Structure 1
Amino acid sequence: MKKIFALLIAAGISMSAFAAPENFTSDDNHTFSSFSYSHFGYSNQTSRFNSTKAKISIDRAAKTGSVEATIDTKSVDTGSKLFDQHIQGEDFLDTAKFGTATYKSTKFNFDGDKLASIDGNLTLKGVTKPVKLVVTQFHCADHPMMKKLACGANATASIKRTEFNAGKYAPYVGDDVTLTFAIESIKD
């Protein structure tokens, strides 16, 4: 009996040792990023980018992974065409020179089996800074319609606009910006 138990444990260990990373591509219809900030203290404004794409690799057994996300900054959507143009100007996103922002992970951090945070680098307006994403939700399961494995997540981070050369009107318009990512991805 002890030998059978030892063989089962060894088989389980060797199977997990051979687990390979799984690769995913974001679903354009269910992936976007948004940002919010204080507007003169009157309210917290929230806007979004309508085009965010990501490639994800994750090995849940080894508790490792990577993500590379690209945000089309020209897809900013404030709810006002006039304000969209204002945000795309040189004082803020300067989309004429910097049409994309990117996030590239350096490490996935797990708490047990749960993905808890992701360390990485955000490049915005030509400036790259380390940014930690706090994962508030993560789930992988077979997609009922696609008939493939799918993974989704929600994550947030805080940055300062002034650190990315986008600090016009700070501190009146809040320097602290909360970034939020919602992503759903399908296994390649």
Structure 2
Amino acid sequence: MRKTLFALAALALAGAAQAQSATYAIDPTHTFVTFEAKHFNFGFSTNRGRFDKKEGTITIDPTAKTGKVEVTIDMGSINTGTAAFDKHLKGPDFFNAEVHPSAKFVGEQFAFDGEKIVSVGGTLTMLGKTLPVTLKADSYGCFMHPMIKRQVCAGDFSTTIKRSQWGMDKMTAFLPDDIRLVIQVEGVKQP
């Protein structure tokens, strides 16, 4: 009897732990991947752009303090608001979108403060090269969405990378190597 009660308690605890883990599908209409780079090395103004097509999932277990995020970005969807600039950035001098049509971030090193995510470490694969990147959570939280009646987790994450590390080293003599990435993400809890 005692063994049976112990086994039932263990199963209940295992079920409770599994119930804490949830998977969220990234909402592409509320998720934006943007970049910022100083205009030339003088630093007086900032060029900005975004990638309009992205997809992915996030799995979070705040009890176990674990998670996994996978975000794929369509490099051909770059949008700076200027067609000629977009064409140049898609070309071989920068993103080489014809040869490398996507970039992917995979993160499994979640840092929490209570139930809030403070950073996600992982790898960014771009231009065929995979390197470590840590995204800092500038804000993060979950809420019950009043319109779709499902839990949504959202946040703003940022990091600064050196483009030359991925082989994007054209024009570094007069164009900055440091690129700031800002990811505004919103994920909808899946059943």
Task: Give the TM-score, by structure 1 length.
Answer: 0.89
Residues 36-88 of structure 1 deviation map (CA, whole Å, 9 limit, x = unaligned): 11111231111111112120001122221110000111000011001100000
**Counterpart residue identity of residue 83, structure 1:** F
Partner of 2:151 in structure 1? 149
2-side partners of 1:107 and 1:54: how far apart?
17
1-side partners of 2:18 and 2:184: how far apart?
30
Residues 95-149 of structure 1 deviation map (CA, whole Å, 9 limit, x = unaligned): 0001100000121111233211001000011111000000111111111111111
2:93 to 88, 91, 102: 91
Shift of 1:168: 1.1
2-side partners of 1:74 and 1:168: how far apart?
19
Q: Secondary structure at the match of 1:162?
A: helix
**Counterpart residue identity of residue 126, structure 1:** G
Shift of 1:90: 0.4
**Counterpart residue identity of residue 25, structure 1:** A
Partner of 1:38 in structure 2? 38
Contact 2:122 2:132 in 1 (8 A): yes
Q: Secondary structure at the match of 1:87?
A: helix
Contact 2:116 2:141 in 1 (8 A): no
Q: How many residues align?
A: 177
2:105 to 93, 103, 122: 103
Partner of 2:130 in structure 1? 128
**Counterpart residue identity of residue 31, structure 1:** T
1:52 to 54, 67, 72: 54
After superposition, the Cα gap between the structure-2 partners of 1:18 and 1:185, relative to the gap in structure 1 and judged at 3 Å, is: closer
1-side partners of 2:65 and 2:16: how far apart?
11
Shift of 1:171: 3.6
Question: Mean alpha-carbon deviation: is it higher for 21-30 or for 105-114?
Answer: 105-114
Partner of 1:82 in structure 2? 84
Contact 1:34 1:49 in 2 (8 A): yes
Provide structure 1 residue ranges, at least 5 long, that are not aligned to the other structure. 1-9
Q: Secondary structure at the match of 1:29?
A: coil
Q: Secondary structure at the match of 1:173?
A: coil
Question: Mean alpha-carbon deviation: is it higher for 14-23 or for 75-84?
Answer: 14-23
Shift of 1:167: 1.7
Percentage of identical aligned residues: 36
Provide structure 2 residue ranges, at least 5 long, that are not aligned to the other structure. 1-8
2:162 to 151, 160, 163: 160
1-side partners of 2:124 and 2:37: how far apart?
18
Shift of 1:18: 4.6
Contact 2:66 2:108 in 1 (8 A): no
Partner of 2:24 in structure 1? 24
Contact 1:16 1:61 in 2 (8 A): no
Please provide the CA RMSD for this pair: 1.7
